[in-house]
Amino acid sequence: MKTALQEIITPLLSLKELSSVAERQRWAERYREIRAFSEELCKPLHAEDCVIQSMPDASPAKWHLAHTSWFFETFILRPGLANYREADPHSSYLFNSYYNAVGPMHCRARRGMISRPTLEETYRYREQVDAAMTSFFERATEDRWRELKPVVVLGLNHEQQHQELFLTDIKHMLAQNPLCPVYAHASGEEPSAVTPLRWFGFDEGIYSIGHEGEDFAFDNEGPRHRVFLDKFELASRLVTNGEYIEFMKDGGYERPEFWLSLGWSMVHDQKWRAPLYWEQRDGDWFNFTLSGLRRVNPSEPVCHVSYFEADAYARWAGARLPTEAEWEVASANLPLAGNFVEEKHFHPRPLIPGRSGELAQMFGDVWEWTRSSYAPYPRYEPAEGAIGEYNGKFMCNQYVLRGGSCATSQTHIRRTYRNFFAPDKRWQFMGIRLTKAAL
């Protein structure tokens, strides 16, 4: 016989349970979608393509497939699924990227030496992890689900980050091949009239930047805090290849007055004279794309430039790079729309002429270098334990990039998103937007 109180509580509890089941089903579906997209990106590749490591910064495609599975195995399945037995006892050593709290790991620069497990075995590893994750979604106790759901969401965002790295690493690998292989056929846009650059002004004042709220964000995006900005102007669009060629023609790579000292050393040490993937044939510039070698389109946004090149270009142009706070304030009312990986174009697009009423190309196309060092926001504290190694320990000697690229998932980007790379890196889709002080 139920008491009056039980009569009230029982349906409430079942409603709660029902909502938990629905929530788990939603995340299980999201898990399947994101995991499937990783494998879809692999479809144009052959097994031989998946094992090469073209430089220490880039990882083989096979390693990305395994490492993202290892993340779920390590941070969800081991703690969250009773009697879970790891699919392969070597996976922890081979596919741990940088989590010292989890244990020792294979040398990053030698990931291309791991011919075993084979690609086929790696796909089996993914299947085993996926099957165990299905069990987790269905059977984890309510307490376990509540505790680990944030880590599931982190794992999915982590996999989306690796999907972008997968594409940029594949591009670097294919670019080493004299046959200039095509990853995906996509027609290049014809050179078109370039929308004139305009300047959008922003008032001085105290603004708030950084993430707050219940939606997912990486820990490095918060806490939200106040910043003071002097008035500034932001360019209405990205710098184009044509504009960058003008910089090159004006001796951009030969004139030290444009360059930071470290950048000038890189120009000489690395013999830089154009963006990464550019080569000159019979006087014309070509660039390697994921659709093969193409003539450089002057109306496309310039990409694959380092922070040093972006900074030197800005100085040549009589401007500077934005701070990340300026960028975020300027993006506040813009839709999160643009040329993202969902378009499967895998290359920045020229700005459609005629759009000049608002800042354009802020999201998608290329990550935009900012002049902000990647540093913790005020009151930032990394999480306890291994997950705390995700971002915080990299806050040194890197610069922040904003806005996502043509290799980023639209569902992954936020206006508070802080990407970061060392200033000499060029293999991500990195580009330039100018800023200047307002008069």
CB of 125 to Fe ion, least distance (A): 16
CB of 313 to Fe ion, least distance (A): 31
Give the side-chain half-sphere CA count within 13 A for 350. 21
Residue 293 · residue 179 · CB < 8 Å:
no
User: d(Cα 342, Cα 340) in Å, to the nearest integer?
Assistant: 5
Which x/- pattern over 44-83 shows residues binding Fe ion (rule: CB under 5 A)? ----------------------------------------
Closer to Fe ion by CB, 99 or 308: give it.
99
Which x/- pattern over 192-211 shows residues binding Fe ion (rule: CB under 5 A)? --------------------
Q: Cβ contacts of residue 180 below 8 Å, gap of 6+?
A: 174, 288, 292, 293
CB of 129 to Fe ion, least distance (A): 15
Residue 59 · residue 165 · CB < 8 Å:
yes
Q: Dig out the tokens for 243 from the structure.
A: 């504009």
Give the burial string for 55-81 (b: 16+ CB within 10 Å, else e). Answer: eebbbbbbbbbbbbbbbbbbbbbeebb
Q: Which residue's CB atom is positioned nearest to Fe ion?
A: 97
For residue 136, give the DSSP letter: H
Closer to Fe ion by CB, 69 or 323: give it.
69
CB of 71 to Fe ion, least distance (A): 6
Q: Dig out the tokens for 149 from the structure.
A: 């759901």
Q: Strands 278-281 and 284-289: what pairing?
A: antiparallel
CB of 189 to Fe ion, least distance (A): 33
Q: Contact region for Fe ion (CB under 5 A) — 89-97, 171-179, 222-230, 396-404?
A: 89-97
Backbone angles phi, psi at 81, to 5 degrees: -120, 115
Q: Contact region for Fe ion (CB under 5 A) — 55-63, 97-105, 279-287, 335-343?
A: 97-105
The alpha-helical segments, DSSP class H, found in 119-182 are 119-139, 142-175
One of 97, 163, 297, 428 touching Fe ion (CB under 5 A): 97
Closer to Fe ion by CB, 49 or 159: give it.
159
Count the site residues for Fe ion by CB under 5 A: 1
Which residue, chain included where needed, has tokens 């975020």? 328
Closer to Fe ion by CB, 66 or 430: give it.
66
User: d(Cα 197, Cα 98) in Å, to the nearest integer?
Assistant: 42
Residue 332 · residue 359 · CB < 8 Å:
no
Q: Contact region for Fe ion (CB under 5 A) — 10-18, 92-100, 110-118, 219-227?
A: 92-100
Q: Is 38 in the site for Fe ion (CB under 5 A)?
A: no
Q: Contact region for Fe ion (CB under 5 A) — 91-99, 244-252, 256-264, 397-405?
A: 91-99
CB of 171 to Fe ion, least distance (A): 18
Closer to Fe ion by CB, 268 or 393: give it.
393
The alpha-helical segments, DSSP class H, found in 43-81 are 61-72, 78-80
Q: Contact region for Fe ion (CB under 5 A) — 95-103, 196-204, 331-339, 371-379?
A: 95-103
Output 316-319 pairs: Cβ under 8 A, ≥24 positions apart.
316/247, 316/250, 316/252, 316/258, 317/239, 317/243, 317/247, 317/434, 318/436, 319/235, 319/434, 319/435, 319/436
Closer to Fe ion by CB, 97 or 220: give it.
97
Sign for the CA dihedral angle at 128, 130, 134, 137 comes to: positive
CB of 161 to Fe ion, least distance (A): 7
Q: Contact region for Fe ion (CB under 5 A) — 94-102, 146-154, 239-247, 327-335?
A: 94-102
CB of 394 to Fe ion, least distance (A): 12
For residue 364, give the DSSP letter: B
CB of 31 to Fe ion, least distance (A): 16
Q: Contact region for Fe ion (CB under 5 A) — 90-98, 241-249, 345-353, 410-418?
A: 90-98
CB of 97 to Fe ion, least distance (A): 5
Binding site for Fe ion (CB under 5 A): 97
